[in-house]
Structure 1
Amino acid sequence: MSTFKRLWGSLHAAGECLHAMAQAQGRFELELSREILYRRWKLLVLVLFPVLLGLGMEAAVAAGLPDHLGGHKAYMPSHATTQMFFGSILVGLMAGLITGVIGAGGGYVLTPALMSIGVKGIMAVGTDQFHLFAKAIMGTVLHRKMGNVNVWIAVWFVLGSVTGASLGGMVNRSIYQKSPALSDAFISAVYVFMLGILGFYALADWIRMSRGAAKGKPSTEATTRFAKWLQSLPLKPRVRFDEHIVPGGRSIAVYPIIICGFIVGFVAAIMGVGGGFLTFPMMVYGLGVSTFTTVGTDILQIIFTTGYSSIVQYAIYGYVFYTVAMGMLLGSLVGVQMGALVTKMVKGVTIRAFYALTILAGFVNRLCALPGKLNEVGWISMSKSAAAAINVGGTIVFFALVGIFSLWILGVFVKGAGKIREAERAALAGQAGAGR
């Protein structure tokens, strides 16, 4: 029994950590979408123009092209279609709605969704990363919070993240070259592990919250005991930071920073994520960097990590589908804004319930995809019809739950949009009256 309790405690702690990471990623994506839609919409139109132009030319050239380019390992169509583009917008919209409502990164929907509709895992990872890079570069190159960056922390962190992304990209590509089915199985297994821990934690959290057992926790000290120990190690070279918080600032050896960057880059390249959900807790609780400095550094590392990984590790090898990436970008930008408004009209316990269900839907989806892929590799023996039936079941569960959640959010948004506008007008009128 004591062993079980220790195991459950470890899984709960891991789930809590992953939840905190997802929340950090959600806050980042919400702020990023506001920056792009309200201040950089002209740049967004410019980026989308080539995609729209290509779709407009599709009818003229598609008839003369083969369905696929390449040999027996072809993994993408030779041309984009309007169905692909609007389908990717829908996938991005669902992820954005989840992010906006829950306040936690909904990116866990993107790669499983693309894989569920037939995109090879490595292609889904590369495309997802490129869409994140496009979003980050548009929203943050001139962002005011870039002034928060500690340059030397960023330099050493990016050195580690680029190295980690190189290894992660090499691992994904090597597995794919050996066997596309094994590649899909590997990526699916990673998502099963991550979403399993996060999903069951979210479910337990919702149960506690519905019973009234969830209580606010005191804020964690930025400099934890572990961070203080790391900062005390007499290693050189060192980086000084947070002079604006502590007289004389704090300092830490560069090696823990590089290691943290390496982990972030490796995970980002394997899963097709931006790495921001890992950076925040690792820097704040692991290295003892203030949240003020962490936010700016996180923005910078996402640009470099996703840019390097998506282009150098995936795009130049043909593992990025740009039309799908731009569609996901457009859908997620709109979805995040709509979802954020819905949070003003829905109880937190209801949101937590849907959050747990959508994560577990992603978990079930990738878990059900594994038997078919492992059967193709020859690691298990199963009839193709049985494997296909299990995979279809997982896909139905995934899109049913995520689709129902998304439709519910849209319904609440449409019904409450008028009330939100009236409240905002009343608040502005009150501020104007106070100003007089």
Structure 2
Amino acid sequence: MRGIYEALMSASRAHAKWELEMSNNIIRNRKHLFILAIMMLPLIIPAIGHAADLPGFIGGKNAFGPSHYSPTMFYGSMFVGICAGLITGCIGAGGGFIITPALMSLGVKGILAVGTDQFHIFAKAIMGTVIHKKLGNVNVPLAIAFLVGSGVGVTAGGSLNRALFNANPVLSDFVISAVYVFMLGFLGFYSMYDFIKTRGSAKSGDAHGGPVGLTPLAQKLQSVNLAPMIKFDEDVTPGGRKISGWFVAFCGMIVGFAAAIMGVGGGFLTFPMFVYGLGVSSFTTVGTDILQIIFTAGYSSIAQYAIYGYIFYTLAMGMLVGSLLGIQIGAATTKVVPGIYIRGFYAVAILAGFVNRLFALPEKMVQMGYISMSSSISTLLATIGTWIFFGLVFIFAGWIIIAFIRGIPTLRAETASPTASKGVSH
């Protein structure tokens, strides 16, 4: 269990580093900012005005259709994006796990939350990734095999989500919530355990580069001679290593399926599967992971959700803008706040998402007739879960922002020091 947690956290740290790089590339590039401004134009009028009341049969608030929208959802999506960015930048671990639960708490149908999150990831990746710097790390045969598997997994995951929604929208929400209960529960409780265990230690616990040698599983898989064999890591290991393309495609299928079901980038699975399972170096894994996120999120959001009407463009752009701001503040805060406290707040934020989805399950089960409970009680539980979630996330976000404001003099001093040193050297 400990090994699985470390693998997931290593993946989160690698993904967070890439997200910070994407954010910097967008904010510091005038062309990218101009593109972002154009993408935001369709939101100005609906964000300022009021959403019209829609008849129930075409998507009113109580309908199963996905077209209900309110300005509160838009402003809420910006807040969600900011919080996810703060977590990613401040903790150095992916904050995307809270996005889908947060959108569902705002009243967005589960399938729409998943599709919208996928589109937001795709838009940010296309705008912010410095592809020419990273594709040098990509082993082409490895990437092709992985993307073929990912395409199959995304198609299966998207088809399953749509089938569940078409059969019973409540069942769709229940399944998505249950998946998040399992994932966030595991990550949250282990993160809290890790925080409590290391609170009095001087070790930061953040420097995990993955295993130095091959794991037993990787050695076993690489010993299987099943064509086609893919050679990789020639620059890392003398003579390189080989593995069957079938194993790579299978990993891609799992990553694509999970990404399409949960609405995440899939990087939290790619990294541990490649490094710990297949024995691929971290160097090669990073480049391949970036490529797969662009493909997986793009194919999933457009081919599996957008063309069927399961994307909120408005909310996706709100999250994009919010996350760009949040990740910058979060990254700067790490220079003025002890890392141990940041890890504690991360555990609390993840557990808040766990509680949120756990408390939402009884209401879904009552609506489907699986359990007998007063509807008022089940609704109250869901409301309590929502308040706990947003309350804790709001406290966490406020703490980071206050720490950032208080640390501005320190940050300015650090920025000025290199400039002064450069001036003296001349």
Relative to the length of structure 2, the TM-score reads 0.93
Unaligned 5+ segments in structure 2 are none
Assess if the C-alpha contact under 8 Å between 2:51 and 2:71 holds in 1.
no
Shift of 1:44: 4.0
How far did 1:212 drift? Answer: 2.3
Amino acid at match of 2:12: A
Aligned to 1:43: 32
Structure 1 equivalent of residue 346 of structure 2: 355
**Which residue is 1:3 aligned to?**
none
In structure 2, what is the equivalent of residue 307 of structure 1? 298
Matches of 1:224 and 1:125, distance apart in 2: 34
- Say if 2:407 is the partner of 1:416: yes
> Which of 360, 376, 379 is the equivalent residue of 1:385?
376
What is the rounded CA distance, in whole Å, between the counterparts of 2:353 and 2:271 in structure 1?
24
User: Corresponding residue for 1:111?
Assistant: 100
Query: What's the counterpart of residue 9 of structure 2?
Result: 19
Matches of 2:50 and 2:410 in 1, distance apart? Answer: 48
- The share of aligned pairs that are identical, in percent, is 54
* Counterpart residue number, 1:33: 23
Q: Is the 8 A contact 2:46 2:71 kept in 1?
A: no
Separation of aligned partners in 2, 1:316 and 1:147: 33
Q: Which amino acid aligns with 2:10?
A: A
Secondary structure at the counterpart of residue 252 of structure 1: strand
Alpha-carbon distance, 1:60 to partner: 8.4
Q: Secondary structure at the match of 2:265?
A: coil
- Give a deviation string over 1:254-289, Cα, whole Å, max 9, x none: 011001101100100010000011111211121111
Separation in 1 of the partners of 2:204 and 2:77?
39
**Of 262, 265, 287, the match for 1:271:** 262
Counterpart-to-counterpart distance in 2, 1:432 and 1:231: 54
- Bigger shift: residues 396-405 or 13-22: 13-22
Conserved in 1, the CA contact under 8 Å of 2:154 and 2:256?
yes
5+ residue gaps, structure 1, are 1-9
Pick the aligned partner of 1:170 from 159, 165, 177. Answer: 159
Greater Cα offset, 181-190 or 14-23: 14-23
**Residues 336 and 218 of structure 1: is their aligned pair in 2 closer, same or farther, counting only changes over 3 Å?**
closer
Match of 1:370 among 361, 371, 375: 361
Question: CA separation of 1:98/1:427 partners in 2, compared to 1, >3 Å: closer, same or farther?
Answer: same
Q: Distance in 1 between matches of 2:57 and 2:183?
A: 33
Moved more, 273-282 or 209-218: 209-218
For 1:252 and 1:228, the matched residues in 2 are separated by: 10
Q: Given residue 117 of structure 2, which amino acid in structure 1 is its aligned partner?
A: D
* 1:148 correspondence with 2:153: no
What displacement does 1:401 show?
0.4
Task: Give me the whole-angstrom Cα distance separating, in 2, the residues matched to 1:325 and 1:42.
Answer: 20
1:353-410 per-position Cα deviation (integer Å, ceiling 9, x unaligned): 1111111100000000000001101111111100011011101100010000001111
TM-score by length of 1: 0.91
SS of 1:239 mapped into structure 2: strand
Q: Which residue identity lines up with residue 360 of structure 2 in the other structure?
A: A
Residue 123 in 1 paired to residue 112 in 2?
yes
Q: Which aligned segments of 4 or more residues in structure 1 are displaced greater than 6 angstroms? A: 57-61
- 3-state secondary structure, aligned to 1:251: strand
Q: 1:5 matched to which residue of 2?
A: none
Displacement of 1:148 after TM fit?
A: 1.5
